[in-house]
Structure 1
Amino acid sequence: MRSHTPSIRSLFLCYIALLAAGSLQASPVINEIHYNNDRNYIANEFIELYNPGLQAVNLGGWKLTGGIEYIFPENSLLEAGAYISIAENPSVLRSEFPSPQRELRILGPYSGALSGEGEMIDLLDNSGERVDRVEFDIDFPWPIAADGGGSSMELINPTLDNNLGSSWRSSGRNETPGSPTPSRVNSAFSALAPPNIRQVRHTPQQPASTEDMVISAKVTDPDGVSEVSLAYTLIRPGRYVPAFLAKSHSQLLSNPTAPRQTNPSYLRNWLTVNMRDDGLGADVEASDDVYTATIPSTSYDHRTLVRYRITVSDSGGTSATAPFPDDASLNFSCFVYDGIPDYVTTTRTYSADTVLSSLPAYHLLTTEQDYDQCVAYDGNQIPRNSYDARSAFNWSGTFVYNGTVYDNIGYRLRQRNARYANRGKRSFRFRFNRGNYVQFHDIWGDPYPTKWRTLNSHKMHARGGTNFGLYETANSILWNTTGTAAPFTHWFHFRVIKDTEEAPDQYHGDFYGFLLATEDYDRRFLEAHDLEKGNLYKLKSGLTEGSDVIRYHAPRGARDGSDYENIIFNLRPNRNDSWLRQHVDWDSWYHYHAIVDAVRHYDVQPNTAEHLKNRAYYFKPDRSRYGLLQVLPWDSDTSWGPNWNGGEDFCKYAMGSRAEFNKEYQNVVREIRDLVWQPNQINGLIDMLQDRIISFQQADRLRWTSAPASAGSQNDGDIRLRTRD
């Protein structure tokens, strides 16, 4: 494969080609977009234009429209072969990406903001006619690392169709993402542009073991397509091949942040076949630029993972392979599945069509060795204060939901105190790859407002026994109903494929039971709950530096964590009323804490040690230096009862017995009690949630009760005893 790294020779060749083939009236093109900086508080986003023509163009009166708006000033001349960048903040852009050789041509600022979820950008001339349009996205075939990975998206060659995702690459060199290149030659530039690959599909989306898999891709190239090939590998159940090797326990403790080693086995046992565009076999139409190959059903079985890549060579000898190098998924994937079987126990059978399908099914494919090391039934548990080791996604897997495969993801355990309690269920945390976040659905089956980057699961065990996720789910509904943004929750049916046999007995095999999913605190949380972009912190016991617990850094938020540290160190009873109102959104806190008192979410204390947890801090932007604190809930599993501690956080501690503050709080309590906290409404809510999971809970109970040690064991009892209480 030829390198696409720019050189003097390739630039010269490109110039000669443009000179020979270009028109005097060739129009400026959108050539680079930096839309989602990896540091949100640095205003260095921009749109770059390039003039591929042989004459200068006066941009005066032209416009950029879309998420941003900008009108070019009069006499804005863009010389032939020159670049110009329109910046969010021109001075910041110059300082972030300096050019010692020459002054960069930078204009701005523009109004509005570029979307981090993709959008349409138009370049209009002074008569309002569209000159260029780019409607970009954040997943394949568009550059992946440009979405928050520090790179921009760069057009490989200005002669390419810039509304095709595969005409772009993430900025960087030698296929490694790197810094943007405003108002200069793109780092991804190539005079010999690779083929365009897009519209990669496999059908059926989730084939049965009796169905052939048809893989297709649309491929074009100005030089003509020479060859299209499909490379694929079959991962049988019980023989999972991770892309990365998990660190040993000692390696994880000693060097938790070091990259994991790639697995040499990942590259083995791939088969290659030609893809065709001749209208024969599964190829629908000849010469339509859609190339097709078939993997016959005779080659795979039920529960097989199929990984594949597509490589295209053009007539000039340049090639490209999809997915592109900045995609951490590494390959496309398909899961061959004949459907969930009934769950058979010694006493009864639970139907896959009724009971097991009452909750959405999530599959994890992983090795038995990785799974066993992660759950740590037999020792080698990560100590509580080894924060980095506990936070490392040390284990690799494949996640399947709704027929879609999310390959080469990371997983680990979560929770501080109860992470390794007993030898039963574990609370897992899954991290999905950029460009492949997951669209989950709520308990009513409706899609959440945003895709999730991470999935936090909860084993639903708390003080006094298992709460079946009823506490967190009811609390989430109550908080969100009364004006506090709280993480959404839903139950899911979990299946782990790490063994050859799917269901050898009641206790072993794929069926894990059910877990509770909890929305995470990050940028997508703010968007899902219609919150302005303010700093967001997820508190952890003992971590007092804001940089250690920040989840989202707002463009105009405090850069150094001082807003967070100001609260945990200075929000005290000795502060006067004016100081308290300057730093805390008390109306928000009253509504938050009214539900805290109602459900007894008391596992917090006003200290910076063990009980600096079970909440998040969101700083609502205002004119002050830090913004106004809003306290948001987390991990309310020990609510309702029995409880831990007294529920006094820094706000309640600082408020103390101040008459005016307490009067305001009591008014909110009265409002929520009269409108929401009534027996008919609360009992109805609990009954509705119980009905949602009661049948599945009976199957889950038989999976875990009195199970052998090798399968993991716990005794949850009957959900009706908990709801009756």
Structure 2
Amino acid sequence: MATLNGEVTGAGNASPQITFYWGSTDGGTDAAAWQHAAPAGSSSGTFSRILTGLTPGSPLFYRAFAQNAAGGVWAPKSQAFITAPTEAPTNIIINEVHYDPLDPTKSQEFVELYNPTAADVDLAGWKITDAVEFTFPAGTVIPAGGYFCAVQSLAAWPAVVNKAGPFTGRLSNQGEIIELRNAANQLVNAVDYGPGFPWPTASNGLGPSMELLHPNLDNGLGGSWRRSVTNAPTPGAVNSALLANASLAPPAIRSVKHAPEAPVSGVPVTVTATVTDPDGVGSVILRYQMVDPGAYVRRTDAAFNNAANWTELPMVDNGTGGDATAGDSIYTVTIPAAVQTHRRLVRYQITVTDATGIPPEVPGNSVRVPYADDEQPNFAYFVYNGVPAWSGAMRPVAFSGNAATPIQEYSPDILNSIEPWHLIANEANIINCQYGGSDTAKFLGTLVYRGKVYDHITYNVRGIGSTFVSGKNKWGLKFNRARDFQAYDNWGRPYAETWNSLGLNACASPWASVHRGAAGLDEAAPYRLYELAGVPSLRTNYVHWRVIRRDAEVNDATKTVTGDPMGANIRGQYSGDLWGLYLALEPTEGNFLDERGLEDGNIYAIEGEGGDKKHQGSTQPATSTDWSTFNNAVKATGASARNEQWFRDNMDLPALYTFLALNRLTGNTDVRPGDNYRYYHRPSDNRWVIMPYDLDMMFIAAHHWGGTMDSVVVAGQPNSIRAIMRWPALALEYRNRCRELLSLVASDATPAGGQFGQLMNEYARMVNPPGQPLTWADLDAAMWNLHPRSQGGGANSGQSSHRGNFFRATYLDGGRGGLDGTVATGTWIRSLPDPDNDKFSDHEGLTQWFINFST
């Protein structure tokens, strides 16, 4: 452990953000040349940062960098020192941490201290700080060789004797520094833990705590910790993972990296890992597995664990074979250039053994990483030379009385204008997922995004009533524990919070084929509109979706492909990696709240009147009784009907007014009394906040399903409309909000005039930039207009006649579901400009139609 210090001598106009760059060699003023970067926050004076997990007795260099809006500057020179040698602890240490309990409502977090000395220690005035805050009261004593816990709740651990609390705050599930300071505020011990490798993965919400293997080990190293063996914490008692002596611990390994991160064909890849052990390191062995396109290997396949499918290479720390510096504990190996071929996935694992002379088969002497509790049992990289051009036609053949159109080539520049996402998977699984008829089956695959590999994730087809309606179906992705997805928005900015799952909507308007060709505009822009108007709303970003299921990445659009399960004797344009344009949906879970700085409360998806809990608030019911109680109260009639004040006290009425008003403005007709929206239960005032969801049936000039409320048949409304139906004062407030939004958003129909026109055109430019003859809107239409899996017979009428109807100039929307099963809703005609009189329009025509609809 070491504390780096510095001082800003001149802040300029704003306090800069400070970063310490550090490593075993001096990187000077080149950030890329340093091995590590550690943020130290914002400061206009002195600043510091604690480092843990350092290699004992080794040289360490560091240099500070400060940056604000005016620019950045490095410290005048790098500093250096020798880290302390490893010794048995002579003071209190952090011994067990439970930061992410299985049930977040039970307040079971704790930090356990251990006293390795032969004397009792008075903890009065000592502090747990930085992560959570707690000062031990007078009379607190930790016995010699004993334990003491700082707990989130005293009541949560009734059997633990040596405890004090509650502490203030919560331990971060994403990792942070826990500091232990004595009564003189001197740093005694610190642990900078994380939610996954090299720290225990199962401790991240699966139930176990993380336990130190032995008090003589460096507790700043993730490799010195394991999940509790009993799958349950052991506060105030001997760790279940405790080893008889520290020499039985395998080497600690961390900072596993490969370079380049996203290699191309024919380039060697260097893998490095920092490995240390008080007994010395005996061997470090990397083994790699090659997964070629069309031959995907799942972790459940026998081929994954078959030793014959892995190639072993020794890693060295002797200054040869690509190793930069001998004896710096950074072990290196180079994977030969010939291994790197286009579209190949390369997985690797590392096995480390100490130098005690104990045979490798003795437990505790050797370990392979990632550790056994990691749901991704390997590291990986993806070899890719770049997206190739793609060729296709809107109508490769005449269809439904309309002539064939010419094949056009879409350049790599067009395709790369939206970031590619690659799903690598077994072909039979892909077809079964998307077209097998089940929306519950989960399959294993690998996602690659921005050069990062998310291996062994699960994917499935999404949807309830619309799952298989269009043929271009939705996807759901679920990521492994402690290996969350880092998403970026449409402008290339990273989201502050990572995602553990996501949905991909198909830009296909399953029950609104009248909008085919909109390229997701009819969904993405409304989500943003709700948020701009003050309603919590998920964010979306466009996705260039590619699926590697066969050996060929692209096929000749003029040729016929046989043997592709996508369809018998299909055109080459439909057989290859390119799948089309999709829309990633931000999950409405804990990340959603943290991204917006909202309180930790329950979030429900409302379907069939039931609340499908998407996030559990730490202070709210673990069951769904809060939702059912609220919903029943909203619907109560007669003597049980709630009065006006109840609605004011229990609902976020401004959010409700805005939600309902924008539903009307954008034609969100698929809202039903108990379906197709979400609710957030805000803890501080107990109010319920309605949120939009399932916006794939927008801009519809007709009623859809509805329900009877207070003896009135109501279309396209949630149960909470009752507040406005029953109470004139609330109805007036709602109408006033409608007037505000009409004035602010929809008073100007010109593309660059009113707020709505600007919003629609901002999103339209993402998929259909003006002045470009071919765009993503055209590409997606060419891929799916006559795709063999697209549904429909070609008629320009009905809710689900997708095939052949992209950019259809005149479309007759079919009769929609009856209101409350009793009232027919009729049909309506949507017309777009058709200057060449060929019965088809374009994306510009659809965009303007949406603007006209709402203004």
TM-score over 0.5 (shorter chain) = yes
C-alpha displacement of 1:630: 0.7
Q: Which has the larger radius of gyration?
A: 2
Matching residue's letter, 2:196 = D
Q: How does 1:98-113 map to 2 (within 5 A)?
A: 98=159, 104-113=161-170
Deviations 1:256-303 (A, max 9, x none): xxxxxx322211211112111111121111111111111112134210
Tell me if structure 2 keeps the 8 A contact 1:43–1:93: no
Alpha-carbon distance in 1 for matches of 2:464, 2:494: 30
Distance, in Å, in 1 between the alignment partners of 2:496 and 2:734 is 31
| CA drift at 1:471 | 2.0
Work out which of the residue numbers 215, 222, 236 in structure 2 matches 1:158.
215
Match in the other structure for 2:586: 519
Does residue 551 (structure 1) correspond to residue 598 (structure 2)? The answer is no
**How far apart, in 2, do the equivalents of 1:374 and 1:220 lie?**
45
* Distance in 2 (alpha carbons) for counterparts of 1:151 and 1:672: 50
Q: How many residues align?
A: 650
Q: Can you list the C-alpha shifts for 1:449-485, whole angstroms capped at 9, x where unaligned?
A: 2111112011122212424211221112111111111
2:664 paired residue number: 597
Q: How does 1:572-611 map to 2 (within 5 A)?
A: 572=635, 574-606=641-673
Native 8 Å contact 1:40 1:554 kept in 2:
yes
Q: Provide the rounded CA distance (Å) in 2 between the counterparts of 1:265 and 1:654.
A: 60
Structure 1 counterpart SS, 2:607: coil
Q: Distance in 2 between matches of 1:298 and 1:427?
A: 37
Aligned to 2:576: 509
Partner of 1:230: 286
Query: Does 1:721 pair with 2:845?
Result: yes
Q: Please name the residue that 2:631 is paired with.
A: 568
Aligned equivalent of 2:301, options 263, 277, 294 = 263
Map of 1:44 onto structure 2: 108
Q: 2:764 aligns with which of 663, 680, 690?
A: 690
Q: How many angstroms apart in 2 are the aligned matches of 1:577 and 1:299?
A: 70
Report the Cα distance in structure 1 between the residues aligned to 2:747 and 2:499, rounded to whole angstroms. Answer: 34
In the alignment, does 2:678 pair up with 1:616?
yes
Find out whether 1:308 has 2:365 as its counterpart: no
Q: Please state how far the C-alpha of 1:427 moved relative to its aligned partner.
A: 0.4
Report the aligned-residue RMSD: 2.0
Could you say what secondary structure the match of 1:723 adopts?
A: helix
Q: Is the 8 A contact 2:268 2:340 kept in 1?
A: no
1:85-137, Cα deviation, whole Å (9 max, x unpaired): 1110112123xxx4xxxx53121111122122211111110111000111122
Distance in 2, matches of 1:105 and 1:228, equals: 42
Q: Percent identity?
A: 34
What is the CA distance between 1:144 and its match in structure 2?
1.5
Question: What residue is the counterpart of 1:4 in the other structure?
Answer: none
In structure 1, the partner of 2:277 is 221
* 1:312 positional shift: 0.2
Q: Distance in 2 between matches of 1:153 and 1:365?
A: 33
Q: Do the aligned residues in 1 keep the contact of 2:790 with 2:803 (CA within 8 Å)?
A: no
CA distance in 2, matches of 1:88, 1:455: 31
What are the residue-to-residue correspondences of 1:180-579 with 2, within 5 Å? 180-190=233-243, 191=245, 192-243=248-299, 262-268=300-306, 269-316=309-356, 317=358, 318-345=365-392, 347-352=407-412, 354-376=413-435, 380-382=436-438, 390-392=439-441, 394-422=442-470, 424-462=471-509, 463=512, 464-466=514-516, 467-505=518-556, 506-541=573-608, 544=610, 546=611, 549-572=612-635, 574-579=641-646
Q: Which is further off, 263-272 or 45-54?
A: 263-272
TM-score, normalisation: structure 2: 0.74
Three-state SS of the structure 1 residue aligned to 2:105 is coil
Corresponding residue for residue 146 of structure 1: 203
Q: Give the Cα–Cα distance (whole angstroms) in 2 for the partners of residues 75 and 575 of structure 1.
A: 53
Offset, 1:676: 2.7
- The CA deviation at 1:583 is 2.1
Give the match's secondary structure for 1:539. strand
- Does the Cα contact within 8 Å between 1:425 and 1:459 map onto a contact in 2? yes
CA distance in 2, matches of 1:61, 1:448: 40
Q: Is the 1:508–1:711 contact (alpha carbons within 8 Å) kept by the matching residues of 2?
A: no
More helix as a share of residues? 1
| Aligned residues of 1:84 and 1:106 also touching (Cα < 8 A) | yes
Task: Tell me if the contact between 1:600 and 1:647 (Cα under 8 Å) persists in the aligned partners.
Answer: no
Q: 1:709 to 1:130 in 2, by over 3 A?
A: closer
AA aligned to 2:738 is V
CA distance in 1, matches of 2:550, 2:416: 22
Report Cα offsets for 1:593-614 as digits up to 9, x if no partner.
22222212231222xxxxx322
Give the match's secondary structure for 1:595: helix
Q: Describe the SS at the equivalent of 1:399.
A: strand
**How far, CA to CA, are the matches of 1:704 and 1:674 in structure 2?**
38
Structure 2: segments with no counterpart, 5+ residues:
1-85, 359-364, 393-405, 557-572, 706-714, 769-774, 793-801, 808-841, 850-855
State the alpha-carbon separation in 2 of the partners of residues 599 and 704 from structure 1: 26
Match of 2:64 in 1: none
The C-alpha deviation readout for 1:200-225, integer Å capped at 9, x for no partner, is: 01111011111011111010001110
Change (3 A) 1:197 1:714: farther
Question: Equivalents in 2 of 1:709, 1:564: separation in Å?
Answer: 40
AA aligned to 1:182 is: P
Indicate conservation of the 8 Å contact 1:240/1:366, yes or no: yes
Measure how far apart 1:671 and its partner are.
2.5
Runs of at least 4 residues off by over 3 Å: 707-715
**How far is the alpha carbon of 1:714 from its aligned partner?**
4.3
Q: Distance in 2 between matches of 1:580 and 1:116?
A: 35
How far apart, CA to CA, are the structure 1 residues paired with 2:175 and 2:701? Answer: 47
Distance 1:582 1:264, change over 3 A: same
The alignment status of 1:701 with 2:749, answered yes or no, reads no
Name the residue aligned to 1:11: none
TM-score, normalised on structure 1? 0.87
> The residue matched to 1:664 in structure 2 has which SS?
helix
Cα deviation for residue 69 of structure 1 reads 1.0
* CA displacement at 1:642 relative to structure 2: 4.2
Q: Give the deviation of 1:495 after TM superposition.
A: 0.5
Higher relative contact order (CA 8 A, sep 6+): 1
- Whichever residue aligns with residue 370 of structure 1, its letter is N
CA–CA separation in structure 2 for the residues paired with 1:571 and 1:600: 24
| 2:267–2:340 CA contact under 8 A, matched in 1 | no
Mapped to 1, the partners of 2:661 and 2:189 lie a distance apart of 54
Which shows bigger deviation, 489-498 or 75-84? 75-84
Pair 1:30 & 2:77 matched: no
Secondary structure at the aligned position of 1:605 is classed as coil
